[in-house]
Amino acid sequence: MHSSNLETLSQTDLAAIDRATRWGTSFVAERAETWELERRFAKEGFESAGQHQLTGLLVPEIDGGEAISKLGLARVLEEIAATDFAIAFSLVCHNNLAGSVARNATGDLRSEVLPGLVTGSSLGAFLLTEPAVGSDAASISVTAVRDGDEWTLNGEKSWVTNGTHADVLSVYVQTDETLGHRGIATFLINANTPGISRTPAYELIGGHGLGANGINFEDCRVSGESLFLPPGEGFKAAMEGIDLARVLVSAMCCGMLRTALSTASSYVRNREAFGARLADLQGVRFKLADVATNLEASRLLTYQAVQSLEDGRDASVEAAHAKKFSTRVTESGIASCMQVMGANGAKRDHPLPRHLAASRLTHYVDGATEIQDVVISRSLLD
């Protein structure tokens, strides 16, 4: 990381990064492979994150949180993802929701929901995507119809990170399809409300620790107080957070790629072939040199974009460049690192196979790679 970036980190940021690093390299490192092999949500991981004050990172101190900077959050997530992407992504979804509740919720809704999210006694989830609607988020079709003081929700959400165990659901709904994205509102709902059912966790290429599933709403009646962001505000809020979300994915990629590079570097220093260390073969050296260049470039793009967001500048294009580049070079870079380790690269006694699978998922979350190209090409050509 650039020293100019480091200098802007506060004591609170540095303390959170230190906690995350120690937690990642101990608690998470000892369990991440088990969560993956057992294909289950990292429940005890989330509970432990709460005990390590990693669940209210974007919530002001007055509400019991940490209020770290965006730069600090990126560094926290880089450190956790260096050990496990799934739990890092689970935590970022939760923290983003807690931060949004702290910024936007008022009255009873705020006092009912916020304290549990901050301490981690309740787990949050963000429900935008639907089985038939992903990239074109303005076209969502889960409906909310007003009936006196209450609303009735119907429809199906998909790809809900934390969905298998979430307690608080932030649900994006269409209140009036003639209004398009201006009809989209957001409800904060207790996941045990009658009319809500969950599918089992998805069987994925990897990343099972983040507990992705589908959640259905069938004549689910909720009170008017559950209306978190009124029609017109819901879609705006979802889009406002997207640049930071993309940069944070990029930071998590830097963490995984860093681990791949250090794992492969230490392996090739210790293994011999044809009378020399693998580390002395130029083909091996240059492969790892390429990974190192891409890691350096990813970090520069990531932290430049975070700094722009921190400074309040429009960073849509910077965030798109960072996410597109980092996700691409992370997947190919992890594969290169596994290649120089020979067949041992494919064994699960180190984290690279888990990181390789997770790196595939990073191409879809918070906007597919092609959506980043839409943003970049628009800025070039329109």
Ligand X SMILES: Cc1cc2nc3c(=O)[nH]c(=O)nc-3n(C[C@H](O)[C@H](O)[C@H](O)COP(=O)(O)OP(=O)(O)OC[C@H]3O[C@@H](n4cnc5c(N)ncnc54)[C@H](O)[C@@H]3O)c2cc1C
Write out the H or E segment, with its range, that includes residue 247.
helix 242-270
Q: Which residues within the stretch 158-197 sit at the binding site for ligand X (CB under 6 A)? A: 159-161
Q: Which is nearer to ligand X, 111 or 135 (CB)?
A: 135
Q: Which is nearer to ligand X, 17 or 168 (CB)?
A: 168
240 binds ligand X (CB under 6 A): no
DSSP-assigned beta bridge partners for residue 277: 272
Closest contact distance (angstroms) between CB of 160 and ligand X is 5
Q: Which is nearer to ligand X, 71 or 361 (CB)?
A: 361
CA distances for 268 relative to 175, 327, 337, 348, angstroms: 58, 25, 10, 17
Q: Which is nearer to ligand X, 315 or 357 (CB)?
A: 357
Residue from 99, 206, 207, 231 touching ligand X (CB under 6 A): that is: 207
**Residue nearest ligand X, CB atom distance:** 134
Cβ(231)–Cβ(175) below 8 Å: yes
Helices H, strands E: what count in the chain?
13, 10
Q: Which is nearer to ligand X, 220 or 365 (CB)?
A: 365
List, as one string, the DSSP characters of 91-160: HHHHHHHHHHHHHH--HHHHHHHHHHHHHTSS-EEEE--BTTBSS-GGG---EEEEETTEEEEEEEEEEE
Q: What one-character DSSP code corresponds to residue 9?
A: -
Residue from 370, 377, 378, 379 touching ligand X (CB under 6 A): that is: 370
Per rule CB under 6 A, count of chain residues that contact ligand X = 20
Q: Which is nearer to ligand X, 161 or 164 (CB)?
A: 161
Q: Which residues within the stretch 76-115 sit at the binding site for ligand X (CB under 6 A)? A: 93
Residue among 209, 170, 204 at smallest CA distance from 91: 209
Provide the residue count of the chain: 382
Burial of 151 (0-12, 13-18, 19+ CB in 10 A): buried
DSSP-assigned beta bridge partners for residue 184: 174
Closest contact distance (angstroms) between CB of 310 and ligand X is 24
Q: Provide φ and ψ at 165, rounded to 5°.
A: -125, 0
41 binds ligand X (CB under 6 A): no
Closest contact distance (angstroms) between CB of 364 and ligand X is 4
Q: Which is nearer to ligand X, 51 or 197 (CB)?
A: 197
Interacting span for ligand X (CB under 6 A) from 125-133, 141-149, 239-247, 252-260: 125-133
State the binding string over 340-369 for ligand X (x if CB under 6 A, else -): ---------------------x--xx-xx-
d(CA 344, CA 190): 46
Closest contact distance (angstroms) between CB of 163 and ligand X is 7
129 binds ligand X (CB under 6 A): yes
Closest contact distance (angstroms) between CB of 175 and ligand X is 18
Closest contact distance (angstroms) between CB of 72 and ligand X is 22
Closest contact distance (angstroms) between CB of 311 and ligand X is 27
Closest contact distance (angstroms) between CB of 143 and ligand X is 17
Residue from 313, 374, 377, 379 touching ligand X (CB under 6 A): that is: 374
The per-residue b/e assignment along 322-346, b for 16 or more CB within 10 angstroms, e otherwise, is bbbbbbbbbbebbebbbebbeeebe
Q: Which is nearer to ligand X, 151 or 159 (CB)?
A: 159
Cβ(85)–Cβ(361) below 8 Å: yes
Binding residues (CB under 6 A) for ligand X: these are: 93, 126-129, 134-135, 159-161, 207, 212, 361, 364-365, 367-368, 370-371, 374
